[in-house]
Amino acid sequence: MRRKNEWKLNKMLPCIMLLISLSGFCFFYLIPFLLSFSYSVVDNPVSGKFCGLQNYKALFQNIYFLRGLKNTAWFMAVSIPLNMVLSLCVAFAVRKMNAYSNYFSLFFLIPLAIPSATSAFFWENFFGLHGTLNRFLSVFHVKGIDWLEGSYGMMVMVIIFIWKNIGYNMALFISGLSSIPEEYYECADVEGAGRFWKFRNITYVYLAPTTFLVLIMTFVNSFKVFKEIYIITGEYPPDSLYVLQHYMNNMFLSLNYSKLVSATYILTIVIVLFVVCIFRAERKFSENLHY
């Protein structure tokens, strides 16, 4: 009888722990997020006068929101593909290295352990008007520019983003490459297949699930570049570095919760639609693979 009760307790324990975790998530995140929707359909939180979708309409007529949306979309369109391609190349290089592969991997993983404030301070001193890069260019009599203030600012943020996240994606790709049986490549070598054929018909096919995972993680992490931008440029950055999080942060500081919640819901919808499209693409790819 005692063993039976212990068996029931051990069986129920994971469900109990999961229920506790789910309850905390609902209480502190999901329920407040859903309840905050009422702020987006009223003119202001004080009077609470219903205004329908006017707040959402006003966002797409706001130059600062549109600027943040444009810059965020541009940053993602450039940084996400570059990060994934470079991470995959580094993963291939690590896999091909016979010696010092651990040290080579560690070099790309170090940025993950560096705090955002420290890395932002380093890059600010490197790309600033009187920074290391301009001092180096002055040796060749090239006039220095403020890389963070001009049109090059977003490209600098792309470099920072890749530098900080390439190691994480590299580790995911290495794990995916390690799961591909070597026998497939050996059979292809026996048949005289070239490198491109092996990549397209073996590596690309079996690395697809990992690629979809890396794509989602890179998409989510791309929003975190706001920390570096905020630390370097503050609340009101140059126009080229103004992203959606700046607009939302300024709405919070000005207590404009109606605009803040509306922008949050729009951003949430975009993220959910992107993730749903990725999962559907992965499912379709898997179905075609089985055929």
Q: What is the pLDDT of residue 8?
A: 63
pLDDT tens sequence across 140-173: 888 878 888 777 888 999 999 999 999 899 989 9
pLDDT attached to residue 77: 92
pLDDT digits (tens, 9 = 90+) for 218-234: 998 898 888 888 888 87
Q: Measuring CA to CA, which residue among 49, 66, 48, 47 is closest to residue 57? A: 66
In the Cβ-directed half-sphere of 79, how many Cα atoms lie within 13 Å?
29
Average pLDDT score over residue span 98-124: 82
The whole-number pLDDT of residue 161 equals 92
The answer, as to whether pTM is greater than 0.75, is: yes
Closest to 36 measured CA to CA, from 264, 267, 270, 269: 264
Q: Return mean pLDDT, the chain.
A: 83
CATH 1.10.20.10 applies to domain 55-290: no
pLDDT tens-digit readout, 247-265? 888 888 777 788 888 888 8
Q: For the purposes of burial, counting CB atoms within 10 Å of the CB of 235, is it exposed (0-12), middle (13-18) or buried (19 or more)?
A: exposed
> So what's the pLDDT on residue 6?
59
Helix, strand counts (H, E) of the chain:
15, 0
Q: What is the pLDDT of residue 81?
A: 93
Higher pLDDT, 37 or 91: 91
Lowest mean pLDDT among 7-11, 108-112, 167-171, 195-199: 7-11
Alpha-carbon span 66 to 64, nearest angstrom: 5
Nearest-CA neighbor of 90 among 162, 180, 189, 1? 162
The residue ranges of every structural domain in the chain are: 55-290
